[in-house]
Structure formats: structure tokens, C-alpha cells
Homo-oligomer: A and B are copies of this chain.
Amino acid sequence: MARSGARRHLSSTPVRSAGGVVRLTSEAYPNIVRDERFAQVTAEDVAFFKDVLGSDSALIDGVTSEAADIADDIAPFNEDWMRKYRGQGRLVLKPQTTEQVSRILAYCNDKKLAVIVLNLSRMNNVISFDEVSGVLVIDAGVILEVADQYLAERGHIFPLDLGAKGSCQVGGNLATNAGGLRLLRYGNLHGTVLGIEAVLPDGTVVDELSTLRKNNTGYDLKQLFIGAEGTIGVITKVAIQCPQRPKAVNVAFFGLESFKHARLAFREAKSQLSEILSAFELMDATSQNIVQHVTGYTRPLDGDYPFYCLVETSGSNGEHDYAKLEAFLEDVMSKEIVLDGVVAQDETQAQTLWKWREGVPEALGHVGGVYKYDVSIPLEEMYQLVEDTKARIQEAGLLNEDLADTASAAEHPVSAVVGYGHMGDSNLHLNVSTRVYDKRVEKILEPFVYEWIQKRKGSISAEHGLGVAKKAFIGYSRSDTMVKLMKQIKDLYDPNGIMNPYKYI
């Protein structure tokens, strides 16, 4: 049983693939095999699921049919957005009710069936919204942007935002504990989610769909499903506390001399902008050079600086917010924390400034293949990882930063080592851009990056969970004791292991 489709779209910008068909994971990773304990789906199973779903259009059946168009329909469900993994699922089920999800899972659990794709796109209703309390209750299959649009019409905002909002589902956001762009302002999902309905592998419906801000009657079990990546159950409904939509959004962009100055600027922003600070983003010089190289946009500032920051405020009074932001910028410039800065005068300008941050991953994708690390590191040392990684690659003679030089690809596969991210959350994106994928680069990066983070008590996965890619590396972020305690929980809720039908050999 695979997790819902929502997860596939967590981030916005696909890494440029080597092109063509993605290799089957079973071939690319021969150490990951399907556990032989699990049954294969049969025509009889398909008949059962058809009966549960009550409609032929609610499933894509590649089990009893080998038609090419059906294979094409199933294909997207077997691939991840980074085009790194490809599974061999032959059946996609699209339940419409929690009861259907429950019957499907209970059946799979009994029959030890695995690798069926559950897609919740048909469970996409807004169940209720209370305009006074701001509590929204929705099906897990609602698209994030649809939920946010619904709230916008009612003066509220979904407390989570990310690039993939147009395609990702809210249930998947919860399952992966997505952080995104609004975390600094509205906090994480463990705080904003008030209730969850979920189905355990044995079909038990966990009814924790509370809409209350305060409820202290026993263990808060719903929290276990937030960030569990679907391994202990399928989230079917969500109740979430939604804040008032800010009436005014202001953006400033500035250049700084060093990472230390960026930290000082962040500290001042927190102090002076306080309750209206909604984003504080960091970009290094290399990242901005690449955006310019790819897009040809005119840079927001005249000079070149080693670091750039983008500050966003969101509040209920535009005049007040603008006054605070201007006073902040004057203050940090007079103290020479910031060397140059600009404040957007309207929404268009604000969006243009955001492109210098949001455009980084896409621009990198245009330059070549990218090794991506989305990690948390205590703020003081956050950027040091980029410098240390770059030094290692340089030492090995693998770096040539001349983007125009494609001739030396084989000799110098790495074109850039870039750092950017959510400074407000100590969340760094380390991206290593390569002209061609090269095993030498991989060996330099891993386990170095994970060990480096472990030493600083950071997290090897700030936002995107572990999945297949980082499962083997959990030991770098979690102790043996913690891994053991997590296995207990997994065994408690999914004793047959149907939610993770593969094993490592």
C-alpha cells in the first residue's frame, strides 16, 4: 500500500533529469526489494475494490488490463517529481469516503496486499468553516491552493504555503509535516492542526477531528500522523486553525557583507518588525548570479554583495507596516549591518523581489543536475556547511564556476555550490549544481554532509521527510534509542507492514 499521491508534489521545481524514462527503482536500487511476504494483486482483489468503490471510474485497473492507455494513466502515480524513483504499481484506487478507505485498508491488511496506490483526489470537500473562530474542516484530498482560495474569499489564510500549492493535497502536507513559507509567522502544523481523521492499516478509523483550540483529555495521538509520511495510516480529514488574512504585505531586499551580518539583520528584524515579520530569506551571491545568468533579469541592487536577504511583513495596516519596515531598513543601514536595500512600492515590485529568492531552484535546474539538501542547522553555523562543502569540492578539483564553460564538464563536473533558505527557521538549502552526474561528487558529498550536520545537532531533513532517499541516514539525526521507539510505534499501528512493502537487503 503506497501513500497518497499528494506527497509527490511537495516542492515546486523539478530537478532536471538526465531525460527519458526514469529507471525502475528495483533496478536502480537493487538493495531495495519487495518483501516476498506480500501478496500480488489479483483480478479477484480488483473485483472487491470495484464493489467497495461502487464505480468503475474510481479505479485505474492495470491488473486485469494491459492496454497502453491504462498504463499511461498509471505511470504518473509510479514516479516521483524529482524523477529519481519509479515503482511498478498496477492499480490506482480513488475512494470517495472514509468508510471506503477503511474497507480498502482492512482488506489489504487481511490479504497482505501491498503496492496499491490510494489517491484521495475525489475526497475534496470543504466540510465546514467557522468565520468567527477561523477553524476549517476539510477532506484530506483538497488541493492546498483551493483551500487557501476558499479562505481568501472569507478573509482568512491557510497557515501553510509552498510552491507546489497548485497540485499538492492538504493530507499530504500533513503527512510530510510541510513547513513552507509561512512557518515563521504562523508556526508549524503540530500547533495549527486541531484535529485529524485517519484510517489505520487495519481499517480502524481514528476520529480525532476536534475543532477545539484547547482539549486536554488524554494523549494527543493525532500528532503522530503529522510527519509520519503515511507509514502508520492514511489521513482522511483535517481540522485546522486559520488566521486572519493580512491586509498588507510589504517586501524589502538588501545586500550584506557576510553571513554574520545577515544574522545581525535577522535579529534586528525580529526585534523591530516582531509580529508583522512573515519571512526572512537568505540567498548567497552565487545563487543570485545563477538566477541572473538564466533569466537575464535586472538585479534589484546596483552593487554586488556576498549575501542578500529578503524580508517580508504581513499585517493588518499597510501604513503602519511600511513605516516599521522603512524605520528598520534605515536603522540597519545606519548601523552598517546592511550595505544597500530597497523596499517594494507595490505588489508587482514585491513579486519581482520574491523572484530572486523563489527563482533559485528553477534557475539551478536549468544549469544542470542538482544534488539537493534541505537541512536544519543551528543558525550560528548555518552557512558554514556551504563553505565547507565548497572547499571539499574545490580541493578535489571538481569545481569550475564558469557557467559558460561546458567543455570541461567531464573534468570539473560541479558548476556551483549554492546556499539559500529560510533564515527565520534555520532551514538551509544546500544545492550542488553539476554539469553531469558524477559518482566522485556523490562520494564527496555523502556521508560528509550528514556527518557535518550530526556534529551540529542539526536535522538531515528539515522539510521533506525521509522517504526512500534518506531512510538509511536516519541515524545521523536520531539516536538508536529513538529509532527503536519509532519502530515500536510502527509495529503498533502497522504490524503487517503493509504501508512499507519493501525491505533493504
Pair B219/A224 contact, Cβ less than 8 Å: yes
Pair A208/B482 contact, Cβ less than 8 Å: yes
Task: Select from chain B the residue with minimum beta-carbon distance to A467.
Answer: B216
Give the distance in Å from the alpha carbon of A134 to the alpha carbon of B458 in the complex: 16
Stretch at the interface among A27-35, A79-87, A375-383: A375-383
In angstroms, how far is the closest chain B Cβ from the Cβ of A136? 13
Give the distance in Å from the alpha carbon of A214 to the alpha carbon of B465 in the complex: 10
Query: 30 pairs across A/B with beta carbons < 8 Å?
Result: A130-B379, A131-B267, A132-B266, A133-B426, A187-B191, A188-B214, A190-B220, A204-B481, A208-B482, A214-B422, A214-B426, A214-B459, A215-B477, A216-B461, A216-B465, A216-B466, A217-B465, A218-B466, A219-B227, A219-B228, A219-B489, A220-B223, A220-B226, A221-B224, A273-B316, A274-B315, A316-B324, A317-B320, A320-B320, A492-B492
Give the distance in Å from the alpha carbon of A211 to the alpha carbon of B213 in the complex: 25
Residues of B within 8 A of A243 (CB): 274
Residues of B within 8 A of A460 (CB): 217
A201: interface (CB < 8 Å)? no
Give 9 nearest A-B pairs by CB, closest first.
A191-B191, A223-B223, A274-B316, A215-B459, A214-B462, A212-B376, A217-B477, A320-B320, A213-B425
Pair B216/A462 contact, Cβ less than 8 Å: yes
A486: interface (CB < 8 Å)? yes
A205: interface (CB < 8 Å)? yes
In angstroms, how far is the closest chain B Cβ from the Cβ of A111? 23
Contact with B along A188-206 (1 / 0, CB 8 A): 1011100000000000111
Pair A217/B324 contact, Cβ less than 8 Å: no
A47: interface (CB < 8 Å)? no
Knowing A133-B378, A187-B191, A276-B275 touch, does A207 contact B462 (C-beta < 8 A)? no
Residues of B within 8 A of A213 (CB): 179, 183, 188, 376, 425-427
A17: interface (CB < 8 Å)? no
A57: interface (CB < 8 Å)? no
Residues of B within 8 A of A272 (CB): 316
Contact with B along A272-283 (1 / 0, CB 8 A): 111110000000
A155: interface (CB < 8 Å)? yes
A457: interface (CB < 8 Å)? yes
